[in-house]
Amino acid sequence: MFISMFGAVESGVIYAIMALGVYLSFRVLDFPDLTVDGSFVTGAAVAAIAIMHDVPTIIATLLAVVAGFVAGSITGILNTKGKINPLLSGILMMIALYSINLRIMGRSNIPLLNEPTIFTQLQEIWEGTNIDQSLNAMLLSLGVDRTPGTWSTLLVMIVVTVLIKFITDYYLKTEIGLALRATGDNEKMIRSFSANTDNLKIVGLGISNALVALSGALIAQYGGFADAGMGIGMIVIGLASVIIGEALFGTKTIMRTTLAVIGGAIVYRIVVTWALRVDFLESSDMKLITSLLVIIALVVPKVIDGQKEARRKRRKRNKLQERLKGEA
Amino acid sequence: MLNVKDISLTFNEATPDEKKALQGINLTLKKGDFVTVIGSNGAGKSTLMNVISGSLTPDVGDVAIGQKNVTMYPEFKRSQYIGRVFQDPMAGTAPAMTIEENLAMAYARNKKRKLKPGVNKKRRELFREYLSTLNIGLEDRLNAKVGLLSGGERQALSLLMATFTEPNILLLDEHTAALDPSRAELITNLTRDVVEKFHLTTLMVTHNMQQALDLGNRLIMMDKGQVIFDVSGKEKQALTIEKLLHEFQRIRGIQMDNDRAILG
Ligand SMILES: Nc1ncnc2c1ncn2[C@@H]1O[C@H](COP(=O)(O)OP(=O)(O)O)[C@@H](O)[C@H]1O
Ligand SMILES: [Mg+2]
């Protein structure tokens, strides 16, 4: 149990980078960008093929980021210069990427089990320290019987993801970042303050998909393979993370919201892992579970609000009736 | 400062819905001119504003700001020089962002936007100072989301945002029309003050004739896509609503449709 939850949190932190990308397009730019299903795989494919060709893992990962940026920018260009509606621009790019990804990979699956990855290299360095031993000793004393093989992935990924969060927070408060947010909030207004909203959308979608591709590149190295189908439904997972996070942790400020999105990605992984432990559910049910989660996260807050409202009205009505009775 | 030359614009040309919105408009504003624009519904006032701001491109004709011909500039590029306030209080601000963030976006109008924080200590002080001139307490609510403000407050903020960077041209399109009378008066007074303070070259559309007479040094009347009446200086000061209506009747030979031309 502990091990599988540990794994859920571990992968949740990596997927959180993808969720931050989805937050940028869906929430900040108000652009429902479906490129994500494709660009996630593009990131994985580029990193995997580069690693196969003995490119250092860090550089391979950075190449994936660049590829994601390019893919997102093209979606932005389709929308702003080609005047294609946002949903369709994303779908067109997603479909195009499916073929492009197969071209990049040359086949539909690249195993990385015998290749170095960022995580295996990290672990090698990590073993010089004895952080693992002391953390595991602590777990054992708490009564956990099976301890994780390494803490390096989790701890380093937390640092990386939180760093990306802080950079995003900072960026969204810069002069350019403010204009980007206004593009999603009131486009007509920010154009009347001399912002080139076309370029802002192109760059914003580029950054969004760069994050998605980074996440894909890391997941490929974490899981030990890149697969042409690994992006299917990724956009819904990203949305699930954003919506669950916002519902659970709030959206008062930008900093709070980005933290909520990361939290949402982790909670999502935990829920899915936990659900898959139920006997009658199989891993192929995951997409169904994801959809249900999004639906629940969208509907439940509304139902709760509705009930609150109904209760408030009932109370008011009762009060009025009592008063009328008193007067009678 | 502003030179509008031979502007014509037809919507849906060669269709049953064809509408000649502007027909050969010529207009020159000197620096510091404050021109009020009146005219019946559909006269082409908003279309003229949109052509000047670049949200619409004319079929023929040129727009020049200062010595620069900006006819082919896209809207975002032109808005370096032009401040605008729209009729809809929702239109001029970003509701999900804070007051200070909105001001920071307006502040960056005529600069290149960079990767440095939009709000810093110095700017926050500056924003607070500007806000306090509005006298509605917004200076104490820098971190409030603009979506929480009332229509009047939002319009006051829009006016400030459109003007405090001292644009070459200020365009106001019925910017008090959606407000209740007392709020409208507040915005009217703020408009007078701010135009005076920054010597802004201003074009203000209004359906309130009294407002058109009270404000500015020049008044133009539009009808059917043309400027049909243009007075300034002493002549304008001597103008009354009765004279205006009479003038319209004399030129057009018909009664002005009085549905929206509110007297006073
Ligand atoms: N985008 C448009 N498409 C078609 N017709 C338009 C459009 N905008 C304005 N018009 C028409 O052009 C004429 C002038 O409109 P407008 O400039 O908004 O008048 P107003 O003086 O009331 O501001 C009106 O008849 C209007 O119906
Ligand atoms: Mg109008």
* Helical axes A36-52 vs A197-223, angle rounded to 10°: 50
- Contact residues for A136 (Cβ-Cβ < 8 A; gap 6+): A147, A148
In the chain, the amino acid numbered B15 is: T
Q: What is the ipTM of this complex?
A: 0.91
The pTM of this model reads 0.91
Q: Taking 60 as the threshold, does the pLDDT of residue A216 lie above it?
A: yes
Domain assignment present for residue B103? The answer is yes
Q: For chain A, which residues make up each domain, given as ranges? A: 2-232
Residues with CB under 6 A from ligand 1: B 11-12, 19, 21, 39, 41-47
In the chain, the amino acid numbered B192 is: R
Q: Running DSSP on this structure, what letter comes out for residue A110? A: E
* Pair B171, B84: CB distance under 8 Å: yes
Domain assignment present for residue B68? The answer is yes
Q: Taking 90 as the threshold, does the pLDDT of residue A144 lie above it?
A: no
User: What pLDDT shows up at residue A177?
Assistant: 98
In the chain, the amino acid numbered B169 is: I
| Average pLDDT score over chain A | 94
Residue written as tokens 């950054």?
Answer: A207
Closest Cβ opposite residue A176 in set B82, B114, B119: B114
Domain count for chain B, please give it. Answer: 2
User: What pLDDT shows up at residue B152?
Assistant: 94
CA distances from B7 to A61, B45, B65, B231 (A): 55, 13, 15, 20
Last residue of a domain, one of B144, B166, B188: B166
- Dist CA A264 CA A246 (whole Å): 7
Contact A194 B97 (CB under 8 A): no
Mean pLDDT of A179-183: 98
pLDDT tens-digit series, residues A254-271 = 999 999 999 999 999 999
Question: Which residues from chain B sit within 8 angstroms of residue A197, using beta carbons?
Answer: 76
Instruction: Give the residue, by CA position, lying nearest to ligand 1 atom 24.
Output: B42
Q: How far is the CA of B22 from the centre of ligand 2 (A)?
A: 13
Angle at Cα B214 formed by Cα B211 and Cα B215, nearest 5°?
85
State the alpha helices, DSSP H only, in A53-144.
Answer: 57-80, 86-105, 118-126, 131-141
Domain span at B261: 1-81+201-264
Closest Cβ opposite residue A193 in set B95, B109, B117: B109
Domain assignment present for residue B43? The answer is yes
pLDDT tens-digit series, residues A275-285 = 888 888 888 88
Q: Taking 70 as the threshold, does the pLDDT of residue B262 lie above it?
A: no
> Does residue B36 sit in the same domain as residue B54?
yes
User: What pLDDT shows up at residue B259?
Assistant: 47
Q: What share of chain A is helix, strand, coil (3-state, %, to 5)?
A: 80, 0, 20
- Contact residues for A142 (Cβ-Cβ < 8 A; gap 6+): none
Instruction: Give the residue, by CA position, lying nearest to ligand 1 atom 16.
Output: B44
Question: Which residues from chain A sit within 8 angstroms of residue B91, using beta carbons?
Answer: 186, 188-189
Whether residue A186 lies within 8 A of chain B, CB to CB, comes out as: yes
> Does residue B94 sit in the same domain as residue B109?
yes
Last residue of a domain, one of B117, B140, B166: B166
Report the range of poorest mean pLDDT among A3-7, A78-82, B248-252: B248-252
> Does residue B86 sit in the same domain as residue B162?
yes
Residue written as tokens 């819905």?
Answer: B17
Cα within 13 Å of Cα(A316), Cβ side: 6
Distance (Å) from the alpha carbon of B157 to chain A's nearest alpha carbon = 13
User: What pLDDT shows up at residue A298?
Assistant: 83
> Does residue B64 sit in the same domain as residue B86?
no
Domain assignment present for residue B214? The answer is yes
Instruction: Give the residue, by CA position, lying nearest to ligand 1 atom 18.
Output: B46
User: What pLDDT shows up at residue A296?
Assistant: 87
Number of A to B CB contacts under 8 A, please give it: 87
CA distances from B70 to B32, B75, B78, B138, B173 (A): 20, 10, 7, 35, 21
Q: How far is the CA of B173 from the centre of ligand 2 (A)?
A: 7
Q: Taking 90 as the threshold, does the pLDDT of residue B202 lie above it?
A: yes
- Dist CA A248 CA B240 (whole Å): 62
- Backbone φ and ψ for A280, nearest 5 degrees, come out as -80, -5
> Does residue B99 sit in the same domain as residue B41?
no
Q: Taking 60 as the threshold, does the pLDDT of residue A51 lie above it?
A: yes
| Number of other residues whose CB lies within 10 A of the CB of residue A128 | 7
Q: Running DSSP on this structure, what letter comes out for residue A285? A: G
Mean pLDDT of A138-150: 89
Give the confidence band of B257 by pLDDT, cuts at 50, 70, 90: low
- Dist CA A8 CA A5 (whole Å): 5
Percent pLDDT > 70 in chain A is 100
Domain assignment present for residue B183? The answer is no
Domain assignment present for residue B171? The answer is no
> Does residue B101 sit in the same domain as residue B229?
no
Q: Where are the beta strands (DSSP E) in chain A?
A: 109-111, 225-227
| Average pLDDT score over chain B | 92
pLDDT tens-digit series, residues B22-36 = 999 999 999 999 999
Give the CATH number of the domain where residue B235 resides: 3.40.50.300
> Does residue B228 sit in the same domain as residue B249?
yes
> Does residue B119 sit in the same domain as residue B103?
yes
HEC-encoded secondary structure of chain B: CEEEEEEEEEECCCCCCCEEEEEEEEEEECCCCEEEEEECCCCCHHHHHHHHHCCCCCCEEEEEECCEECCCCCHHHHCCCEEEECCCCCCCCCCCCEHHHHHHHHHCCCCCCCCCECCCHHHHHHHHHHHHCCCCCHHHCCCCEHHHCCHHHHHHHHHHHHHCCCCCEEEEECCCCCCCHHHHHHHHHHHHHHHHHHCCEEEEECCEHHHHHHCCCEEEEEECCEEEEEEEHHHHHCCCHHHHHHHHHHHHCCCCCCCCCECC
Domain assignment present for residue B66? The answer is yes
Q: Taking 90 as the threshold, does the pLDDT of residue B252 lie above it?
A: no
> Does residue B66 sit in the same domain as residue B129?
no
- Dist CA B234 CA B215 (whole Å): 13
- Dist CA A147 CA A142 (whole Å): 11
Cα within 13 Å of Cα(A52), Cβ side: 17
- Contact residues for A280 (Cβ-Cβ < 8 A; gap 6+): none
Domain assignment present for residue B173? The answer is no
Percent pLDDT > 70 in chain B is 96
Q: How far is the CA of A32 from the centre of ligand 1 (A)?
A: 32
> Does residue B60 sit in the same domain as residue B87?
no
> Does residue B143 sit in the same domain as residue B157?
yes
